[in-house]
Structure 1
Amino acid sequence: MKFRTYACIDVIIFHLSTECTVKSFDFVSAVNCTEQSDCTVVHQLVGEQLSLICDVNNVASSVWKWENEVLYAGTTPIATYKNIDLLEDSYSLNLHPVRISNDGRYVCKDNNGNHIDYCVEVLSVPSIMIFVDDLNELAYFEGISGKEYNVTCKVIATKPVLNMTWTVNGVLINTARLVTENKDKPQTFDMITSMTYNGNGSDDIFNCTSSRENYFSVEKNLLMKTYGMLLTIADN
């Protein structure tokens, strides 16, 4: 079995070469909660419900803000969103369901200067597809021994940009990735990584995995079988 990886990446353009150096590349997420030292970091999956609690003594003089926008002054809505409302009994902000655009810093503050800060990073679980050459998504492929095939893994609609790994028969293969914005789901990203494969009559298992530690991991497997060509010699 022989395979060759697409080994370098320059911004969002692949250079198909075996002599390039892998360069790391990421789009910048809308919010980077790891850099926020003075707030409570919250990671939340798209579609789930999230309650941000604020324990204040004087609700009438308190405000909820999202970034620089006031959501509630006391219990009076100022900026309104269909999926954000206020639980007045606890003065908690309720997001239901969480949307991909709900990233950011949420602050509850009273007139004494007391405040609670949350840094919310929304996560989108992607789907994964594996292709061989220009064929549709596959889980099984039969090919000819000695012929080169292009094997591609595509991670679709992820947020943030995630780790992405290839293994062949359990062996880690280092490949670069192409990262682009998903046109159908704004604020999410697609990732693609490819290799060329030259089977030698073996059965090989390809695994592509993308994960966010402690939150989710998605993967797809492809079984590739290659056979020698059968030649028929006609009798004279």
Structure 2
Amino acid sequence: MVLITGGGSGLGRATALRVAAEGAAVAVLDINEAGGHDVVREIRETGGAAEFLRVDVGNRASVLDAVDAAHRRFGRIDVAVNGAGVTGQRAEIPDVTEDDWNRVVAINLNGVFFGMQAQLPIMAAQGGGSIVNIASILGVVGRANASAYVATKHAVVGLTKAAAFEWGTRNVRVNAVAPSYIPTPMTEPRLDADTWAALSAQHAFKRCGTPDDVAAMIAFLGSDDAKFLTAAVHLVDGGYTAG
């Protein structure tokens, strides 16, 4: 069974559909009830097994309850994808509001931390599992006017490595994926067409990636083919950071 936070749209949705097509049952966790139910409906219409559970990843009790409910519903959690996220203000550091900073930290960082607090003991008790945290290329490099986002994604990378070393002897693998600029319902409206074109030109393929490109990496990291991969950040960036 694959549990996905942020599974109702964007990268989470693409991942849910990908792993369901490969035969996995899916627990779709999101604060976006309409989007989450749509993903579950789509999976079920193709014969798959899926359940929607509402979660506010910035609230520890909500996360613990939702993960526990998914575990009780399916009996195990083989793969957990912590993917809920927000972008935050586009502003220089002195102009970032405390409320926005706290909101980005609550969702992008605390949400991953709370998720792993719930997921790791379950996986260890069942004999192992795989956790994939969605970071970003901005967890590897910097960018102006995105301080909260950059800080939280760097923190997710560090948290991923710490968890991997804590839980490796209990057969739990923990990795992060670092996508580049992927058009999704969250990211696409924030940039105009000229900016997207300029970003596309900075990739080796001269295009931005798709949610399906990221979902393919996540599905691989959750599989037994990745059994010796842990504590690593896997770039899904079309060469962006190499240029």
Greater strand content: 1
Greater helix content: 2
Structure with greater Cα Rg: 1
Band the TM-score falls in, shorter-chain normalisation: under 0.3
